[in-house]
Amino acid sequence: MPGPSTMDDLFAAAKAAQARAHVPYSRFPVGAAIRDEAGRIHAGCNVENAAYPQGACAETGAISRMAAEGGRRIAEILVIGPGAMLCTPCGGCRQRIREFARPDTPVHVAGPEGVRRTFTLDELLPHSFGPDNLDSAGETP
């Protein structure tokens, strides 16, 4: 289990990335930070686009950074958003996280003051479809 200092690192990395978000359209900056299987942290922010559907979520950016920097598994992920409501990952990002995580992987949801709630990935994306489904495709039920 991560200790408090690890969580502080994750929070700080997500918050620093959030400050660099490119959000001229929504004005809703989000940061995400992943701790990978080796303990390394990879952060991302949302990057919007004048062609609106081409914008990317913070989680997507953090996953891309993780892969490019050699991380292969998400040990935990923290997402920080503005406002009073919980900034939980969107549906598409839950599936993207699923690719590199396990059902019990913690997903921390934070505001400017700190972590507000921690979910397991399975709570956010129950009965999910993942790499195992493809692996078992040749097996008889």
Residue 59's CB: how many other CB atoms inside 10 A?
26
- Please identify, using beta-carbon distances, which residue of 35 and 96 lies nearer to ligand THU: 96
Which contiguous run of DSSP H or E holds residue 115? strand 114-120
Q: How far apart are CA 94 and CA 24, in angstroms?
A: 24
Residue in 33, 7, 28, 30 with CA at minimum distance from that of residue 18: 30
Measured from the CB atom, is 23 or 67 closer to ligand THU? 23
* Residue 37 annotated in active site: no
Q: In angstroms, how far is the first alpha carbon of the chain from the final one?
A: 35
Contact residue for ligand THU among 66, 87, 107, 124 (CB under 6 A)? 87
**Interface with ligand THU includes 55 (CB under 6 A)?**
yes
Length of the chain equals 141
Among 34, 79, 101, 121, binds ligand THU (CB under 6 A): 79
- Residue whose token pair is 């921690």: 118
User: CA 14 to CA 92: how far, in whole Å?
Assistant: 19
Instruction: Kindly tell me which of 82 and 137 has the beta carbon lying closer to ligand THU.
Output: 82
Instruction: List the one residue from 58, 77, 78, 125 that touches ligand THU (CB under 6 A).
Output: 58
Site string for ligand THU, 17-36 (x = CB under 6 A): ------x--x-x-x------
Using CB under 6 A as the criterion, which residues of the chain lie in contact with ligand THU when the complex forms? 23, 26, 28, 30, 46, 48, 55, 57-59, 79, 87, 89-90, 93
Active centre residues (catalytic):
59
